[in-house]
């Protein structure tokens, strides 16, 4: 366990960051999952920018790697393009 005042504070901050990152990561994964369930092109096209924005924010905060974010966005765009 931490002994110094600053180290204790850093441990508290790390816990808060971890919880926040887990929340945003899970929320984004759920949004991606819901978007993949959509079968109408109009609804999917409307939802795509919102989900891409969420993914970009995760990459900016280093919750996910920037290449993973790019791969996810590419995959979603392909799925939306294929919809009839």
Write out the DSSP string of 3-17. Answer: -SHHHHHHHHHHHHH
Predicted TM-score (pTM) of the model is 0.86
Write the CATH number for 24. 1.20.58.110
Number of structural domains (the chain) is: 1
The tens digit of pLDDT for each residue in 4-23 reads 999 999 999 999 999 999 99
Residue stretches of the chain with pLDDT short of 70: none
Q: How far apart, in Å, are the Cα atoms of 73 and each of 7, 20, 28, 64?
A: 38, 22, 12, 13
Report pLDDT for 52.
Answer: 98
Q: How far apart, in Å, are the Cα atoms of 81 and each of 13, 16, 37, 50?
A: 42, 38, 14, 16
Instruction: List the domain range (segments joined by +) for residue 18.
Output: 5-82
How many whole angstroms separate alpha carbon 63 and alpha carbon 25?
Answer: 7
């Amino acid at each position: 366990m931490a002994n110094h005042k600053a180290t204790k504070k850093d441990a508290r901050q790390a816990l808060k960051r971890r919880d926040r990152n887990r929340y945003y990561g899970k929320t984004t994964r759920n949004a991606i999952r819901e978007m993949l369930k959509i079968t109408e092109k109009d609804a999917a096209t409307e939802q795509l920018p919102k989900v891409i924005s969420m993914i970009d924010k995760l990459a900016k905060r280093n919750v996910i790697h920037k290449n993973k974010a790019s791969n996810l966005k590419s995959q979603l765009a392909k799925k939306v393009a294929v919809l009839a």
